């Protein structure tokens, strides 16, 4: 089995290896248990999961463990020539009760599940079951007649937020309005919006292209259509789930 523990076929769970070594047993009378003294942590490394295509994905990991677990998500777009590992994997760390977890752009995923106890009074760290699923069906969010000055950030560099939880924005369309855009001198302004959807939250960079140099930042009114994955969070046991509010 991959990881630093072993599978107990009688209990049907993955257990931590013992702290003893053969050197600790000086005679047969001291060898009283096959399990020995359990270590304080155990890690299981899953096989590679194929989500089906290179895209933004939410990874839904459901755990059955004796104690809360940490997850390391390893992901990438391709496998090596043997198919045995992910090429140049990136990673995301997930801890129990984490309120905001990033989705991942890739196709291939592998998960390291670690269960650890804080003291010897806690029960033995074990892993009974790991279920993995993927979702890339986005939510569609629309805003009409949005005055960008009502958003956070600064003039012309506005932070796009929504009235409910969303995760990774996969598509973002912005249509600026040009009516009613006159400065104090009555001169017209024509807004151009450049988006940064890789930022969290996404940034709307708004420039007046009528101004000399084209670098004057302004606010304006826009219509927005966004597609975004549902926000991911982790539960108290370390499992990940989507927020659907």
pLDDT of 64 reads: 97
H or E element, residue 152? strand 152-154
On the question of pLDDT at 206 being above 70, the answer is: yes
Q: Which of 196, 197, 214 is nearest to 205 (CA)?
A: 196
Task: Retrieve residue 20's tokens.
Answer: 């003893």
- HSE (side-chain half, CA atoms, 13 Å) at 87: 9
SS3 160: strand
pLDDT of 144 reads: 94
Task: Retrieve residue 13's tokens.
Answer: 């769970």
Report how far residue 4's alpha carbon sits from residue 94's, in angstroms, rounded to the nearest whole number.
20
Q: What's the pLDDT band for 179 if we cut at 50, 70, 90?
A: low
pLDDT of 24 reads: 81
pTM for the structure as a whole: 0.84
Centre a 10 Å sphere on the Cβ of residue 71 and count the other Cβ atoms it contains.
24
């Amino acid at each position: 089995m991959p990881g630093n523990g072993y599978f107990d076929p009688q209990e049907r769970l993955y257990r931590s290896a013992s702290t003893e070594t053969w050197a600790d047993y000086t005679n047969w009378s001291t060898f009283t248990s096959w399990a020995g003294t359990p270590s304080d942590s155990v890690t299981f490394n899953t096989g590679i999961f194929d989500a089906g295509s290179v895209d933004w994905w939410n990874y839904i990991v459901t755990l059955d463990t004796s104690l809360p677990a940490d997850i390391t998500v390893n992901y990438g777009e391709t496998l090596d020539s043997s198919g045995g590992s992910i090429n140049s994997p990136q990673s995301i760390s997930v801890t129990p009760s984490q309120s905001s977890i990033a989705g991942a752009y890739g196709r291939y995923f592998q998960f390291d599940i670690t269960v650890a106890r804080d003291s010897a009074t806690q029960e033995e760290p074990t892993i009974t079951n790991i279920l993995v699923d993927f979702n890339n069906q986005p939510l569609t969010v629309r805003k009409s007649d949005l005055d960008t000055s009502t958003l956070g950030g600064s003039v012309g560099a506005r932070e796009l937020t929504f009235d409910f939880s969303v995760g990774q924005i996969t598509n973002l369309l912005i249509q600026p309005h040009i009516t009613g855009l006159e400065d104090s001198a009555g001169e017209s302004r024509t807004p151009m919006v450049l988006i940064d959807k890789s930022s969290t939250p996404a940034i709307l960079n708004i420039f007046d292209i009528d101004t000399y140099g084209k670098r004057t930042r302004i606010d304006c009114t826009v219509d927005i259509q966004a597609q975004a994955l549902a926000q991911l969070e982790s539960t108290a046991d370390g499992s990940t789930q989507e927020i659907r509010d």
